[in-house]
Each structure stands twice: as structure tokens, then as C-alpha cells.
Amino acid sequence: MLKKRPQLPQEQYIDTDHFIYCLEAVNDIETDHITETQKELEELAMQYGVASIYKTCDTIEGLESSLNALVLDDHNFKDYEIIYLVIKGKANNICLNNYYYSLQEIAEIFEGRLEGKILHFSNAKVLDLDEEEAQYFLDITGAKAVSGYGNEFNGISSAILDIAFFNLFKEDEHMLDVVEELHQKYYKACKLLDFRLYY
């Protein structure tokens, strides 16, 4: 069963046309505890008025059904510019329940279904794609971009930079301008975590 994070009253978001759709990998979706990611998304809503939907998954089928529910069933899907993935993994794969799946496999699952979206990975996983891998993912899924970090977690979470990135997006539609501004305002953090954008 997928759990929705308690939402703040919707009236607050009438003017908001930006949402974050967050999918976090957990060991067991039956375990009901508030994660750090949920707290960060609360803060994003309270401080910056960026609404989000939060779901967890513990298998590749769970990931697929969550994203399918978003793509196929949610009529507000066009409002979600960013799909925020908090999932462990290495350079070009993700890890769910001790199984590894390449981003090529993920691309094939969501073929043509991520039109115009930005997939943003937290630094729970390193994102390191060569030009061919990145192009393949973008071509197959239709995504506008994939972003994330080149450096591992090592006790430093990307959460603050993620929130800054999402908030800048709320103010500016132009992806490259947002990335440039992110680097200007948070230069040290961008360097330390090695912020990356494939588009």
C-alpha cells in the first residue's frame, strides 16, 4: 500500500503551478515512520509554498506502479515538473531491496512517459552517466533532464541543495538559468556534492 504524506490545506496552493513528486526507496513500505525526506518536503511547503506528493517504494514493481499512477491517473501530472528520487545506487543504476537496475532498464519501463519532466536524484545515489547513457535515457523516456550529484553521501546530505534547486525552479522556468543561479548562490555546496545536469 502506498502512503501519502499528510498535505497542508490545498487552498494554500491554488496559485501554485509547481509540484514536486517525491519517490523514496525504503526497506519496507509497511513500516510507518517519518523520514528525513518527508521533513524536508514539509519545510519546502511551509517556507516556500512548493507543494509535493510523497510516496515510498521497496521494489521495482512499486517504483513502476507509483510512477504509473502519477503518469496515467493523476490529472495534475502536467503540474509536476520535477520527479525527486531518493533511492540508493551507483553511477548508472538504482538499488531497490538489494537488487540493482540500470537506468537503461528504468528508461525502457517508462518509455515515452516522462515527457518534459526533470528527474532529480538526491545524493543517496551517485549519478554518473556517460554522454551515451544520458542521451539514451532522455531519448527513450522523453524526460527534459536528469540531475543529481557526482559525490557520495559521506555524511553530507544534498537535502538543502535539493530544496534550493526546487525553490529556484518555482521562480524561473528556464532550467539552465536555474542551474547557473544555483551555482552562483551555492557554489561551495555545488562543488562539494558535484551537482550534475544531463539534458
| 70-92 residues labelled b (16+ CB within 10 A) or e (exposed) | bbeeeeebeebbbbbbbbebeeb
What are the structural domains of the chain?
15-198 (3.40.50.1460)
Q: What angle do CA 180, 167, 162 make, to 5 degrees?
A: 75
Sheet holding 51-57, edge to edge: 51-57, 19-25, 80-86, 118-121, 145-149, 195-198
Crossing angle, helix 175-185 and helix 159-171, to 10 degrees?
130
- Per-position pLDDT tens, the chain of length 199: 444 433 333 333 334 456 789 999 998 888 888 888 999 999 889 988 888 889 999 999 999 988 887 777 655 555 678 999 999 998 899 999 999 999 999 999 989 989 888 999 999 999 999 999 999 999 999 999 999 999 987 788 999 999 999 989 888 878 899 999 999 999 999 999 999 999 9
